[in-house]
Amino acid sequence: MMNAEEKKRMTTMKRRKITVMIAAILVAIMSVALVFVYDYVQTTTVIDPADNAEYYVRYKNKEYGLYYSDKKTKLPVDSEYGYYVTRAQTLIEVDAETGKYTIQAVLEDLLTEGNEAVDYGFRLLLFPHIEKEKIRSLEVHNETGTYTFARVNEQGEISNNGDFVILGSPLTTYSQELFAELHVSAGYTLSSQKIKDPIKDENGQFTEYGLVPIANRERVLEDGTVEVYDYTPAYYLLTDTSGNKYKVLIGDRLVTGGGYYVQYVDIKDGKETPRDAVYVLSSQIESSLLAPIEDYITPLISYPMTMNTYFDVENFTVLKRDENRPDGDKYEETVSFTYIDIADRQNTIYSSEPYIFTSSSLSPAAKLDGYQASSDNISEVLSAIYSPTYIGVHKFAPSDEDLAKVGLSRVVVDKNGEPVLDKNGKKTYEVCAKYMVSFNYDIVEDGKFIETIQQIILVSEKNENGNYYVFTSVYSPAKEEGKKADYLYDYNMIVEIEGHSLGFVEWDAYDWIQSNYVNFNIAFVDSIKIESPDYNAEFKLDNSMSDQSTQTNSNLLQIMASDSKGHSTTTFSQKIVTDVNGITWVITATEIKAYDSMGVEKTISSSRYEYNKLGTQVRVDTGGIKDRNGDVVYVEADRIKVAHPNGTTDEICRFDSSLFRKFYQTLLAATIIDSYPTTDAEREEILAGGPMLTLTLKTTEGKEYVYRFYEITTRKSYITVNGNGGFYVSPNRVQKFITDAQRFFALELIDASDKF
């Protein structure tokens, strides 16, 4: 028998078991309830307006779908658009992520009127499907304007077999992808709804749906203001290859945003008869039939170039408008340059300079003559012309007024400010673009030269978005200087370009030049002269002993130098010694080689390598080479000693040619710091004090470059090249020209990177 304590413990355990069982039952009940509630929340009932049948949007397998009344079987899906198809052939779209549904098309029955058609999916079309191959032309009229795509043959006539072009502008390229959307929207008029008993006005017209013209109609603009205007419905006219015409009026957008009201117009024998029915077409027509022609056009500001030819331009000129010019010409050149083909500059002083500045006037561009063009910056400019960042086509087939609106032209006025009219009584216009870019370009097709064209690009000031408006015309270049170029055509569009792409039109002169103003291969330098109030030096270069297999070699360069302090020297290039054994020794600034009588190089066992005063590793031979005339030649790192039989010894500096190269590096390292614009009076004042130094460099091709430096401040020196200025340099570098020249004559070390 259990005592009272044991009975109490058993009773407690029994209660616990019962409690657990009850809790488990409650959990099961709650789970079923939650499943029911979840299923209820995740399920939406859809009533098919065609037959009032019920369907359900349910969340299943991690996505929403449309199900039959059993909530288990999914409806079939239309293969073309992905819409669910009900038993009554109603098309319903369901968003798989949100469960939101849209009834896209309701077919009340299969009876049609006029030339309505039902496609293979039992969907209503305003007229039978007309594929692209059967379309001859497609004319669009909407709020933005009118345009026509038509097939045109080689004679420029509309035909059934030609390619589609924009009528009136056959050379204009357009997006094939967007055109595909257009001809599908026009030729495949899938109606999502045919309005039951559409409302008519007192004249029996569908004014309610925006399908007839309405005078003094109001609309709210983006800024909230109300505009009163005369409304005309949009429409398009499709002509097939059999000559049949199909016209569709496009009215207002549905309040729900689910499409546009449209009306079909039957055309027979030139007579138009509107069908007594209103349909709804998908809102997708916004990007096709209601889109402006500008959306279709491929923006273009220059003749299509290639990666292999975009850099090959002639007479590339940037002009800037200046209303205050005294000569009456409102434009002045800011830069002008031409590309030199690599074949023409190979083995010349311009071998590494693909572009040279050109000029033929007293404009700012002429002041760059003598400076070297920055090939990197120019390449960036031409790349921007070749492949600019387009915002889009702002206006296609612009009028003079359209050009004026973006600042590319303006109305010509007389002295009283009145517009000047032409013989037809219309206003005359003149170009007033802020900038103009002009260049010649060779058109080559399949490796064959076709013609040279001159392109003139009008560029506006920056708009409120920091972009430029551009309009390009094409000319045949003038055959003679002073003659005008012949107009050929234009690209028939105002294009908006991202500001950075054409930023070069605002460049300062400094942006166009190479900052290293002495930048010639030393092999092409004939002489260098330094003149200052306290010191003069002259260096004549002789490169005739160098290897001439390429004209850019200067391995045996020799310099004849003298200065105003009485120094005079001829630098060492090489010494040739024939010893008593008939071996020929060739000694240069860094090397020693020996050859037998057959020209075969011999091994020199007595030589070794050391470093000279300049820190260059050179070959030495201090054992002495016995010349057959009795001299003994000792080759050291810094000098060559020649001991004569009479007991005298000559010494030759072995490294002075290399030291001169160090001096030349000082010239090469000199840079222009920035622009220094002046008025004519300010420039005259600067030049009046005379130059602090004149550097004259003459090339082997006969051209002379005269660099003059004038003191402005302790930190700035004004520089002119062949008389052209506009920039400043560091006075320290100018002074270093003198000190390094003196170091050369003193055989002292020269470091081009040193400040002084």
Domain boundaries, the chain: 44-105, 117-295, 313-512, 515-572+654-756, 578-653
Task: Compute the distance between CA of residue 692 and CA of residue 670 in angstroms, rounded to an integer.
Answer: 16
Q: What is the DSSP string of 489-502?
A: EE--EEEEE-TTTT
Using CA atoms, how far apart are residues 316 and 333, in angstroms rounded to an integer?
10
Task: Flag whether pLDDT at 216 surpasses 80.
Answer: yes
- Mean pLDDT on 678-687: 91
Report yes or no: 334 and 320 within 8 Å, Cβ to Cβ.
Answer: yes
Residue percentage of the chain with pLDDT more than 90: 70
Is residue 35 over pLDDT 70?
no
Task: Examine the pLDDT at 40 and tell me if it is beyond 90.
Answer: no
Residue 671 has a pLDDT of: 96
What's the pLDDT score for residue 220?
86
pLDDT at 7 over 50: no
Q: Please, which pLDDT band fits residue 154 given cuts at 50, 70 and 90? A: confident
Tokens at 190, concatenated: 């899938």
Question: Which of 30-34, 89-93, 124-128, 444-448 has the highest average model confidence (pLDDT)?
Answer: 124-128
What is the secondary structure of 167-206 as a DSSP string? TTBTT--B-HHHHHHHHHHHH--BEEEE-SS----TTS--
State the Cα–Cα distance between residues 9 and 588, nearest whole angstrom: 116
Among residues 240, 264, 238, which one has the least CA distance to residue 251?
264
Residues 197-225: b if buried by 16+ CB within 10 A, e if exposed:
ebeeeeeeebbbbbbbeeeeeeeeeeeee
Is the confidence at residue 344, as pLDDT, over 60? yes
pLDDT (tens digit, 9 = 90+) per residue, 624-637? 999 999 999 999 99
User: How many angstroms from the chain centroid is the CA of residue 194?
Assistant: 49
Give the pLDDT score at 471: 98
> Per residue in 138-148, pLDDT tens?
999 999 999 99
- Which DSSP symbol is given to 258? S
Instruction: Please work out, in degrees rounded to the nearest 5, the angle formed at the alpha carbon of residue 618 by the alpha carbons of 613 and 624.
Output: 100
Query: What pLDDT score does 366 carry?
Result: 64
> Residue 31's pLDDT is what?
42
CA distance linking residue 720 with residue 231, whole number of Å: 66
Structure confidence at residue 687 (pLDDT): 94
480 has a pLDDT exceeding 70: yes
Identify the bridge partners of residue 594 per DSSP, sorted by sequence position: 585, 602
Alpha helices in 409-455 (DSSP H): none
Contacts of 444 (CB under 8 A, 6+ apart): 309, 450
Name the nearest CA neighbour of 660 among 563, 525, 736, 561: 561
Kindly report which listed range (23-27, 499-503, 632-636) carries the lowest average pLDDT score.
23-27
Under the banding of pLDDT at 50, 70 and 90, the label for residue 112 is low
The candidate with the shortest Cα–Cα distance to 439, out of 367, 514, 386, 508, is 386
Q: What distance in Å separates the CA atoms of residue 550 and residue 714, rounded to the nearest whole number?
A: 44
> How does pLDDT run across 549-594, given as a tens digit for each residue?
666 788 889 999 999 999 999 999 999 999 999 999 999 999 999 9
The half-sphere exposure of 14 on its side-chain side, counting CA atoms within 13 A, is 6
Q: How many CA atoms are closer than 13 Å to the CA of 694, on its beta-carbon side?
A: 15
Across the range 223-245, mean pLDDT stands at 94
Asked whether residue 164 carries a pLDDT value surpassing 60, the answer given is yes
Residue 526 banded pLDDT, cuts 50, 70, 90: very high
| pLDDT on residue 24 | 45
Q: Among 44-53, 206-215, 525-534, whose mean pLDDT is lowest?
A: 44-53
Plot region of 515 (φ>0 → left; ψ -120 to 50 → alpha; else → beta): alpha
Closest among 721, 671, 718 to 691, alpha carbons compared: 718
Give the pLDDT score at 545: 85
Query: Distance between CA 219 and CA 222 in Å, rounded?
Result: 10
For 208, which DSSP code? G
Token readout for 166 is 């924009």
pLDDT at 22: 43
Binning pLDDT at 50, 70 and 90, where does residue 39 land? very low
Span of 360-364, 436-440, 646-650 with lowest mean pLDDT: 360-364
Instruction: Write out the two tokens for 362.
Output: 């007293």
pLDDT digits (tens, 9 = 90+) for 239-252: 999 999 999 999 99
Contact (CB, 8 A) for 429 and 411 = yes
Q: Which residue has the tokens 């390429």?
A: 550
Answer yes or no: is pLDDT of 327 > 60.
no
The CA distance from 680 to 465, in Å, is 36
Give the residue carrying structure tokens 């302790």.
714
pLDDT at 121 over 60: no
Average pLDDT over residues 303-317: 88
Residue 714 — very low, low, confident or very high, per pLDDT cuts 50/70/90? very high
Structure confidence by residue, pLDDT tens digits, 358-376: 865 556 666 888 899 999 9
More confident residue, 122 or 245: 245
Whether 107 has a pLDDT exceeding 90, the answer reads no
Lowest-pLDDT choice from 118-122, 202-206, 364-368, 444-448: 118-122
- Whether 690 shows a pLDDT value over 60: the answer reads yes
Q: Which two tokens stand for residue 71?
A: 């909530």
Total length of the chain? 756
- What percentage of the chain exceeds 70 in pLDDT? 90
CA 333, CA 325: separation in Å to the nearest integer?
12
Kindly report which listed range (117-121, 439-443, 492-496) carries the lowest average pLDDT score.
Answer: 117-121
Residue of 372, 375, 388 whose CA lies nearest to 313 = 375
* Residue 747: predicted pLDDT: 93
pLDDT at 410 over 60: yes
Could you give the CA distance from residue 428 to residue 145 in angstroms, rounded to a whole number?
Answer: 24
Query: Does the pLDDT value for residue 617 go beyond 70?
Result: yes
C-beta atoms surrounding 471 within 10 Å: 26
Token digits of residue 125: 């079309």
pLDDT of residue 19: 42
**Higher pLDDT residue, 14 or 98?**
98
Sheet holding 525-531, edge to edge: 568-570, 558-563, 536-542, 525-531, 693-699, 704-711, 717-721, 724-729, 672-675
Strand 234-240 versus strand 226-231 pairing type: unpaired
**Amino acid residing at 182:** L
In this prediction, residue 756 has a pLDDT band, given cuts at 50, 70 and 90, of confident
- pLDDT for 80 equals 62
Task: State mean pLDDT over 423-434.
Answer: 94
**Position 700 pLDDT exceeds 60:** yes
pTM of the predicted protein model: 0.77
Handedness of CA 501, 504, 506, 511 (dihedral sign): positive
Round the average pLDDT of the chain to a whole number and report it: 89
Backbone angles phi, psi at 134, to 5 degrees: -100, 5
pLDDT surpassing 60 at residue 452 = yes
Helix ranges, 622-668 (H): 656-668
Structure confidence at residue 20 as a pLDDT band (50, 70, 90): very low
Does the structure show a pLDDT above 80 at 547? no
The pair of three-digit structure tokens given for residue 558, joined into one six-digit string: 């020799």
Higher-confidence residue: 222 or 578? 578
